[in-house]
Amino acid sequence: AKDPDWWRGAVIYQIYPRSFQDSNGDGIGDLLGVVHRLPYIASLGVDAIWISPFFTSPMKDFGYDVSDYCDVDPMFGTLADFDAVIETAHALGIKVMIDLVLSHTSDEHPWFKESRSSRDNGRADWYVWADAKPDGTPPNNWLSIFGGSAWQWDSKRLQYYLHNFLTSQPDLNFHNDDVQNSLLGVARFWLERGVDGFRLDTINFYTHDAELRDNPPLPVEQRGSKIAPDVNPYTWQIHLYDKSRDENLIFLKKLGDLMSDYNAAAVGEVGDDQRGLEILGQYTKGADMVQMCYAFELLSGSTPSAGYVAETLQAVEDFAPDGWACWAYSNHDVIRHISRWNLSPAAARGFATLLMCLKGSACIYQGEELGLPEADLAFEDLQDPYGIEFWPEFKGRDGCRTPMVWDHDRALGGFTSGGNSWLPVPAEHLGLAVSKADNDPGALLHHYRRAIAFRHTHTALKKGTLEDLRAYGQVLSFRRVSETEEIFFAINLGEHPVNITPPKGDWMEIGAELNAAHPRLDGQIHLAHWQPSILLKV
């Protein structure tokens, strides 16, 4: 049966294919490796997978620099291998979302090669070209996320081109209808091939200010503050003009119309914007553009407090009550959350339970379910150009991209049968391999399976509204309400035990398998640290 709302509350497992499973011994994960491991993913009980880019690419940004949107890079396999991913996943009841990087291409994409060849070729206007200022400097002060000016001089055209990321990732010009139509054609190509949806890279970067106005400087008192940490030079400006522009909505609506013909859904990544949640509301309300936006609020910073989570959830409600977030703690760009938040096993379990009870959809990043810590890599090991640029202030993204560990008894954790892997497999990861966790009832892996199953048993957790959101001290609580169910959820996000008073009315205790606490004889609920209480209205 086709449920057009399948994405609402879905649990999405993110695969970084380069590091998931190698099938041919070259030390790099590939699509046949994904096929091989799909039964494991099915054993988690997730609804969908999101596969990071596997398209033809010179791999300067490990696939986020695409040189052919409609083919598979030979490193990852063939289109036939991709068809096998779809077929196997669907047979296991898993939907497939692919990662479309539409904002920019690789500089080796034929479109860019043509565009840079002259100022009057057929694709001259497909990228964002601009003349230098009279003194030869870039057209404006926009900065690249990956450091330096967002403008790169081209000695052939004698003009600058815009790049928000690496200089080898030129930004497509979304103010050109031919560009938009070609990209819609790319989406259609994959929908026809059977994908169920997209993770859309950096959707708030699609359009840019056509007048190329300078961004205003950030007020001095905000520099180096929480909203503007010094590590990322981009945050020295308020992004008034370069991104998150209303013109994006026009393209997103066209894409949404196309997807609705296929029952497909998308999660849009809104990156590097202080107004992230406001934009999330703008893009997802009505669910006719992108259905979900990927929220960064739980992907950075220190261990979230009850107050912080409550404020974040409330902000989503305030900006768009019918908007829809997709939450994640970890991904291929950030320090794994076990390390970032320095979580004990009990805390890791508590946060997994919370993720499965939040209003929104949820992404789990490969290895998160094993409790993998961030790999501590030496400078010589680094592959990520972002890390190499900013070392040692910022160590880059390789520490969360090391290979998945499958088998503690095999070399390189069973990731590859070859003698090498593209990034090292940390020794301390081996003890956390799937083979070990599977046989250890206390392993985090089983908790993830139980928490995912729990979410799927309760439609209020998947699709319900959010009511009575509160943070008092270290306790976060809310109710989730659907047409058929009402659930009360509380969790102690602090280090010390606390007592709470259960809500009035008749409630049944559920979630024992998640270590949820139950009311005592005195009527109070005693929450150990990181312990939830989950009650179902009767």
Name the minimum Å distance from CB 269 to ligand TEU. Answer: 6
Pick 6 or 206: Cβ nearer ligand TEU: 206
Pick 76 or 454: Cβ nearer ligand TEU: 76
Only one of the segments 21-29, 240-248, 262-270, 372-380 lies at the binding site for Ca ion (rule: CB under 5 A); that segment is: 21-29
Name the minimum Å distance from CB 147 to Ca ion. Answer: 31
Q: How many angstroms separate the CA atoms of 111 and 105, rounded? A: 9
Among 165, 251, 283, 454, binds ligand TEU (CB under 6 A): 165
481 Cβ neighbours under 8 A, 6+ residues apart: 460, 464, 465, 467, 487
Catalytic residue among 269, 272, 333, 369: 269
Pick 183 or 517: Cβ nearer ligand TEU: 183
Among 30, 107, 171, 201, binds ligand TEU (CB under 6 A): 201
E-strand stretches of 282-439: 292-294, 325-328, 361-365
- Per CB under 6 A, does 61 bind ligand TEU? yes
* DSSP assigned state of 237: B
| Catalytic (active site) residue 269 | yes
202 binds, among Ca ion, ligand TEU, none (CB under 5 to 8 A by kind): ligand TEU
145 binds, among ligand TEU, Ca ion, none (CB under 5 to 8 A by kind): ligand TEU
- Per CB under 5 A, does 81 bind Ca ion? no
511 Cβ neighbours under 8 A, 6+ residues apart: 353, 454, 532, 533, 534
Please give the order of strands across the beta sheet that includes 129-130.
Answer: 129-130, 159-162, 151-154
Only one of the segments 39-47, 328-336, 365-373, 518-526 lies at the binding site for ligand TEU (rule: CB under 6 A); that segment is: 328-336
# chain residues binding ligand TEU, by CB under 6 A: 13
User: Which pair of tokens denotes residue 386?
Assistant: 């972002």
64 binds, among Ca ion, ligand TEU, none (CB under 5 to 8 A by kind): ligand TEU
Among 11, 12, 28, 267, binds Ca ion (CB under 5 A): 28
Only one of the segments 17-25, 329-337, 350-358, 364-372 lies at the binding site for ligand TEU (rule: CB under 6 A); that segment is: 329-337
User: Which pair of tokens denotes residue 520?
Assistant: 């005592």
Strand partners, 199: 99, 267
Query: What's the chain's Rg over C-alpha atoms?
Result: 23
Residue nearest to Ca ion (CB): 30
- Per CB under 6 A, does 67 bind ligand TEU? no
Check if the beta carbon of residue 71 is closer than 8 Å to that of residue 55: yes
| Catalytic (active site) residue 201 | yes
219 Cβ neighbours under 8 A, 6+ residues apart: none
Amino acid of residue 535? L
266 binds, among ligand TEU, Ca ion, none (CB under 5 to 8 A by kind): none
Measure the N-to-C terminal CA separation of the chain; round to a whole number of Å. 30
Only one of the segments 38-46, 240-248, 258-266, 332-340 lies at the binding site for ligand TEU (rule: CB under 6 A); that segment is: 332-340
User: Is the preceding peptide bond at 392 cis, omega within 30 degrees of 0?
Assistant: yes
- Per CB under 5 A, does 30 bind Ca ion? yes
Strand partners, 15: 51
Residue 189: CB atoms within 10 A of its CB come to 13
- Which residue has 């999330």 as its token pair? 280
Strand partners, 124: none
Query: Which residues are the active-site residues?
Result: 201, 269
Interacting residues toward ligand TEU by CB under 6 A? 61, 64, 101, 145, 165, 201-202, 271-272, 332-334, 397
